[in-house]
Structure 1
């Protein structure tokens, strides 16, 4: 098997930006989308990192996805609350604009919230957070897709909603705490990965269309379709199910566009909330508390001495630091895919 090759971050960023620009994206959109996808790669979210470049550009070339900043419409803005219509613009650009808008509200009045409807695929939610925690801001992102049903209700069989992730960036005295959690037992990417690898899932996290829990990805890809169990599985799935409904309300509900509209194209509903602790107990008090809690957690006795307790995002941030210092490790298959796209778009290939 060929070994992964490391690429310098700035060179890789320039290469991907050129791919998007040559495919028709505005320079601003290309830069923002590249930054988000590359950040996902740096944090170790490989299924939602540079692996998405071909998918995004394929959507642009087919006309399903837009890549012009002017196509993103700001429908309303009160200074604290904003609504955007993505009009199927590349999702990372839509969410980044929403977060920036929410951050402006937070910096002015303590909290800001911005909602986006009809954004194209938005990638890894954790990839958006660090620029805001670096400024001492708490950033939260919620997401759903009203055009898709993948996860069943607790006690139900039929797929109703998407994994509906919640992500949050929490500043501390050191590295931030970064969490990114789906309201389903597993992600769709994991189910597809196991199917492609010919392997079973680690646990019975699927519901077959006959109403039986299963660890076989084949039981999802059936007709009628199977479903993914809510977070908590059969035993405690009522908790993940309840949180998923909350995400639906905070995204599609606030966006005014959701499942009732029967959209026939992938289009994320996303909500960004940014909070400035300076307007509350103060940033120092906030980071004193989050840092103290973090130290309590890290000092707690592990079940397995070989596997110390970690904070959410700690492993990803360690991968990020290594990649920034030594280069980003890319699988040969991904490099080949990117270079095939480069040839199509008349961009110089990614070297070794």
Structure 2
């Protein structure tokens, strides 16, 4: 019901998630990606949109198409081992497709945790890895705890607390804890007040940005995406590096400090590069830690304690104006179920841009081949 309301307000098109995945898969194969790469990235983008993270979802496809054409990211790259010792591995992704590389790096971390009880994986030079929560979900599904600290080199977008100039990337942090009752704890957030993609969604007719999401060049907070994109907003692919303003960090000095820690752990430690004055090559750097809870559970209480505590938190009396208490991951699961049922809402300009890319590649797709009508129910009426 909510997505139907959203589609009327923002003029979204309701599309079938499976068909949209197939279209994006075809586009990426035509752009030179292997079948496994294309399928991995297509599924990741659509899943991000299904879970409500539109900023990391299908809106990214035209940008990936452009980057593949210019060589900013490269198809058919695999993990290259830089260092291997104890429970640790360091990989270079060769500027390949980030979602594919991060998925494989997570597999390596899970394997280490399975063998040793703990795995530590450092990844550098991965093209945009997308929604980091996907890798925490991957680990949790296998029964492992995971922590991720990420930076994006060559993507200086955020002004630290107290500054009016950019000095960091959006620097995501993600923590996943498996829950034997089925609803895993998936904490996943950018350390900027909003992700860059949310500013792009707002600029393309989506939801307005929160108050103080951006910093103007004059040092005054603003919600105008032009602060980030400048005059490039009139172009087909707005450039977030073109504006004179910046994104703001969340949580004032606390969020800003966590953001800078991600630059140091995901950027400096990995060799990916931080967003200092040198303007390093674009790419994601990531420090990942994987833990096998069974190795630490000498009392045999972990599974039960996690499930009981999550149930306890959810059972708390909701605050005024809140329907019920949620844990991290609940909102994404609810949004995914709703969007699978009624159709995935994609802003009309975003869908037009994706279909334009398909046309450039001589792929036979149009809006009618993607659009769906949600089933008529009493609630929807």
**Same structural fold, with TM-score higher than 0.5 when normalized by the shorter chain:** yes
Q: 1:282 to 1:323 in 2, by over 3 A?
A: farther
Q: CA deviation at 1:195?
A: 4.6
Provide the residue aligned with 1:174 in structure 2: 182
Distance in 1, matches of 2:249 and 2:345, equals: 33
The structural deviation recorded for 1:283 is 10
2:250 counterpart residue number: 231
Distance verdict in 2 for CA 1:3–1:231, change over 3 Å: closer
Task: Pick closer, same or farther for the CA change 1:241–1:287 going to 2, 3 Å.
Answer: same
Shift of 1:31: 2.2
User: How many pairs are equivalent?
Assistant: 346
In structure 2, distance between residues paired with 1:245 and 1:51: 27
For residues 295-314 of structure 1, what are the structure 2 equivalents within 5 Å? Answer: 295-304=311-320, 306-314=322-330
How far apart, in 2, do the equivalents of 1:337 and 1:239 lie? 38
Matches within 5 A, 1:308-347: 308-324=324-340, 328-347=344-363
- Cα distance change of structure 1 residues 261 and 194 upon mapping to structure 2, 3 Å threshold: closer
Report the alpha carbon displacement of residue 342 of structure 1 after superposing the two structures with TM. Answer: 2.3
The 1:14–1:253 alpha-carbon spacing in structure 2 relative to 1, beyond 3 Å, is: same
Q: Is the 8 A contact 2:12 2:345 kept in 1?
A: no
The alignment partner of 1:304 has SS state of coil
Within the candidate set 153, 177, 181, 1:146 is matched to 153
2:132 aligned residue (108, 112, 125): 125
Structure 2: which 5+ residue stretches go unaligned? 1-7, 231-241, 371-381
Whole-Å Cα distance in 1 between the matches of residues 243 and 21 of structure 2?
A: 42
> Residue 190 and residue 47 in structure 1: after superposition, are their counterparts in 2 closer, same or farther (change >3 A)?
closer
1:192-211 superposed matches below 5 A:
192-197=200-205, 201-211=209-219
Question: Match of 1:257?
Answer: 272
8 Å contact 1:200–1:216 — kept in the other structure? no
Matched, 1:27 2:35: yes
For normalisation by structure 2, the TM-score amounts to: 0.81
Give a deviation string over 1:75-116, Cα, whole Å, max 9, x none: 122352111112211111121121111111111111112111
Separation of aligned partners in 2, 1:16 and 1:184: 28
Structure 2 distance, partners of 1:214, 1:125, is 27
Q: CA deviation at 1:219?
A: 4.4
Partners of 2:243 and 2:132 in 1: how far apart?
30
Q: Which residue of 2 aligns with 1:92?
A: 99
SS at the partner of 1:255? Answer: coil
Distance of aligned partners of 1:35 and 1:76 in 2 relative to their CA distance in 1, 3 Å threshold: farther
Please identify, of 293-302 and 183-192, the stretch whose mean Cα deviation from structure 2 is larger: 183-192
How far 1:243 moved relative to its partner?
1.1
Q: Which range moves more in the overlay, 332-341 or 214-223?
A: 214-223
RMSD: 2.8
Q: What is the CA deviation profile of residues 64-83 of structure 1, one whole-angstrom value per residue up to 9, with x for unaligned ones?
A: 2111134x422122352111
Aligned residues of 1:7 and 1:329 also touching (Cα < 8 A): no
Task: Name 1:77's counterpart in structure 2.
Answer: 84
Alignment of 1:28-107 (within 5 A): 28-70=36-78, 72-78=79-85, 80-107=87-114
Q: Distance in 1 between matches of 2:23 and 2:227?
A: 40
Q: 2-side partners of 1:45 and 1:323: how far apart?
A: 12
C-alpha contact 2:77 2:95 (8 A) present in aligned 1: no
Q: Structure 1 residues 117, 3: closer, same or farther in 2, change over 3 A?
A: closer
Compared CA separation, residues 41 and 79, structure 1 to 2 (3 A): farther
Conserved? CA contact 2:77–2:97, under 8 Å = no
CA distance in 1, matches of 2:259, 2:124: 17
Cα separation, 2, equivalents of 1:94 and 1:178: 20
TM-score (norm 1): 0.87
Indicate the larger mover: 247-256 or 187-196: 187-196
1:271 pairs with 2:287: yes
Where 2:174 maps in the other structure, the secondary structure is strand
